[in-house]
Structure 1
Amino acid sequence: MPQHRELSVNGITMHVAEQGRGPLVLLLHGFPESWYSWRHQFGPLAEAGYRVVAPDQRGYGGTDRPEDVDAYTILHLVGDVVGLIAALGEREAVVVGHDWGAPVAWHTALMRPDLVRGVVGLSVPAVPRASRPPLRLLREQFGDDFYQLYFQRPGVADAELGRDPRATFRRVLGRAPDGGTAPDSPATGFLDRFAEPRVLPPWLTEADVDAFVDQYRRNGFTGGLNWYRNIDRNWELTAPWDGAVITPPGMFIDGDQDVVRGFMPADALPRLVPNLRSVHHLAGCGHWTQQERPREVNGALLEFLSGL
């Protein structure tokens, strides 16, 4: 079972779960998740001889939630990974990220390849830097009601998701979205895209939902939403890396039913990650990759790790 502790990292106090000894593997969760989304990875990776560490990232769970929206840029998030590696007494790590954790993993490998033995993205591929501010492009492609645009409004999605956290997690984790990639309108909200599940899918239990709800009691959803509120700011800050490639060995895993495929294609991965070792598309798998299909994900991770 993973052990829990707090570390001083990049000016914040970070909660981490860790298990095993050996080369460091960092597991970075997405939204709305926590370290717990990697619950199926700790045992197999630790038993194979790795030190597995999954933090609650900035603004989530047991980790500090800075008040300033500007404290959630990609530079802060990469800085957290760099600081975490040092706080753990290590010099390098394999960095694995799912959903929002994937861009953090890709950018850590891009900006600090000296610290990254290998990089793995789940669901979200590395993508080229956009030609224009991303929110403008998303609005042109999907309209004003695209969920990432809805998330820009301070306090609105925060209140909606926090009104009944248990219902939020049952809907978002337990059912695929209905009707495309955006809410019908900002007035109807984000959760209206997700039908209330009568029965949870086999990979998700009521106890799992309880665990997520409990971990969101401290910080709520605002910290995670602030990551979305820096999308355009991140585009500005990453200009110095425009055209640069990710040099560490890489791997990508997604599900063929993942809605992210509709707006973040993986076509550019071989160009952006020239040392891309493998790509895995999991048939019948949705967005919550490592939770839905732990056996296949763990097998792919162990094969990738053994080749480094």
Structure 2
Amino acid sequence: MPEISHRVVDSAGGLRMHIAEAGRGPLVLLLHGFPESWYSWRHQLTALAAAGYHAVAPTQRGYGRTGGPDAVDQYSVLHLAGDVLGLMPALGAEHAVVVGHDWGATVAWYTALLRPDAVRGVVGLAVPPYPRGNRPPTEALRHLLGDAFYMLYFQQPGPADAELSRDLGTTFRRILAGAPTLGPAGLPLVPEGGGFLDLFREPDTLPDWLTEDDLAHYTAEFATGGFTRPLNWYRNLDRNWELTGAWHTARIQPPALLIAGEKDLVVSNAAARSGLCTLGTFAPHLHDVQWLPDTGHWTQQQRPAEVNKVLTAFLAAHHR
């Protein structure tokens, strides 16, 4: 079994980034989501290396051993995609397949949209690509879902930062293993006077895919860096909309794949399923949408064997 090694590299985007890597061959970049780290790809790094690829999972801007600047505006999607694109030459590659989960999926989709010449293929887990809307995202979210929607709760610096940092063990146990407690219409709405963690019930036991050692890793990664920089990704929703006006009607051109859990709240609601019907218009070279049964949001950790199988088949077709 290939081993995972760690080092720090200077991204051409100007950020010194911690990476976990395994294997040799064509480059595959694995982008984690919120609130995670490279560790969420632990099962894919070795599997892709064994299949003949150089699998690299960076700790992204603002997280853990990479860290980043304090200014909120340094976490726009142009910075995040720039970090990813800057890793390619730093790792001796002109091209890569970019794979992302959760927020990492958003970065992967944008990287493919902005630089199709550098992306051989793009895979999103849990989060599909969303076309740029006609008004700022926070305005649209507030109109559709109300002020209590969790992404709007994240906009104000301070409350969410303090809440999530207060007890890291509780934070990760609830977010990764807790059953969701949803508001009206099945929406993740922060209760009045409450916080984000109130959306999850404290689990009695951990699921079979998550161990105490796994939780200890996440708590260690956030013990020094905290949550403010990762939350700054959310605080750039409107700035991202402003910065990407030139790509308003652009399409994602590289070969694409979406992998989603059938029980993932991000895509299991009726509105999301309806939107996926038009996904081929925005990503005209969409290879497939792979639905994983009995799977929630933490896709590649919950179903590593299935995800690895789908990824290696996609890579074999598009990245040799």
Report TM bin, short chain: over 0.9
The one of 61, 66, 91 equivalent to 2:94 is: 91
TM-score by structure 1 length? Answer: 0.97
Question: Partner amino acid for 2:310?
Answer: A
1:184: Cα distance to partner?
Answer: 4.1
1:278 equivalent in alignment to 2:288:
yes
Instruction: Name the counterpart of 1:4.
Output: 6
> What is the DSSP-based 3-state SS (H/G/I as helix, E as strand, rest coil) of the residue aligned with 1:52?
strand
> What is the DSSP-based 3-state SS (H/G/I as helix, E as strand, rest coil) of the residue aligned with 1:168?
helix
Asked whether the equivalents of residues 183 and 189 of structure 1 are also in contact (C-alpha less than 8 Å), the reply is: no
Partner deviation per Cα, 1:62-85 (whole Å, 9 max, x = no partner): 102210000000000010011111
> What is the DSSP-based 3-state SS (H/G/I as helix, E as strand, rest coil) of the residue aligned with 2:225?
coil
How far, CA to CA, are the matches of 1:186 and 1:60 in structure 2? 29
1:183: Cα distance to partner?
Answer: 3.5
1:287 equivalent in alignment to 2:292:
no
Asked whether the equivalents of residues 253 and 279 of structure 1 are also in contact (C-alpha less than 8 Å), the reply is: yes
Q: Name the CA shift for 1:239/1:186 in 2 (closer, same or farther; >3 Å).
A: farther
1:273: Cα distance to partner?
Answer: 1.1
How far, CA to CA, are the matches of 2:224 and 2:92 in structure 1? 28
1:29 equivalent in alignment to 2:25:
no
Partner deviation per Cα, 1:207-266 (whole Å, 9 max, x = no partner): 100011111122111111000000011011111001111111110000111111236542
Instruction: Name the counterpart of 1:158.
Output: 161
How far, CA to CA, are the matches of 1:267 and 1:215 in structure 2? 38
- More deviation, 92-101/262-271: 262-271
Question: Partner amino acid for 1:132?
Answer: R
Asked whether the equivalents of residues 126 and 266 of structure 1 are also in contact (C-alpha less than 8 Å), the reply is: no
Instruction: Name the counterpart of 1:202.
Output: 208
1:235 equivalent in alignment to 2:279:
no
The one of 23, 43, 48 equivalent to 1:45 is: 48
What stretches of structure 2 of length at least 5 have no aligned partner?
A: none
Asked whether the equivalents of residues 33 and 101 of structure 2 are also in contact (C-alpha less than 8 Å), the reply is: yes
State how many pairs are aligned.
308
Q: Percent identity?
A: 57
Instruction: Name the counterpart of 1:222.
Output: 228
Asked whether the equivalents of residues 191 and 198 of structure 2 are also in contact (C-alpha less than 8 Å), the reply is: no
Question: Partner amino acid for 1:254?
Answer: A
1:251 equivalent in alignment to 2:268:
no
Asked whether the equivalents of residues 255 and 286 of structure 2 are also in contact (C-alpha less than 8 Å), the reply is: yes
Task: Map 1:177-188 to 2 at 5 A.
Answer: 177-179=180-182, 180-185=186-191, 187-188=193-194
Q: Name the CA shift for 1:220/1:275 in 2 (closer, same or farther; >3 Å).
A: same
Asked whether the equivalents of residues 30 and 97 of structure 1 are also in contact (C-alpha less than 8 Å), the reply is: yes
1:284: Cα distance to partner?
Answer: 1.1
> What is the DSSP-based 3-state SS (H/G/I as helix, E as strand, rest coil) of the residue aligned with 2:10?
strand
Structure 1 runs, 4 residues or longer, greater than 2 Å off: 180-187, 262-268
Question: Partner amino acid for 2:81?
Answer: V
- More deviation, 126-135/188-197: 126-135
Instruction: Name the counterpart of 2:136.
Output: 133
Give RMSD over aligned pairs.
1.1
1:201: Cα distance to partner?
Answer: 0.8
> What is the DSSP-based 3-state SS (H/G/I as helix, E as strand, rest coil) of the residue aligned with 1:253?
strand
> What is the DSSP-based 3-state SS (H/G/I as helix, E as strand, rest coil) of the residue aligned with 1:40?
helix
1:302 equivalent in alignment to 2:312:
yes
Q: Choose between structure 1 and 2: higher helix proportion.
A: 2
Partner deviation per Cα, 1:155-184 (whole Å, 9 max, x = no partner): 110100000111100000012311233344
How far, CA to CA, are the matches of 1:4 and 1:57 in structure 2? 14
The one of 82, 85, 89 equivalent to 1:82 is: 85
How far, CA to CA, are the matches of 1:235 and 1:130 in structure 2? 8
> What is the DSSP-based 3-state SS (H/G/I as helix, E as strand, rest coil) of the residue aligned with 2:310?
helix
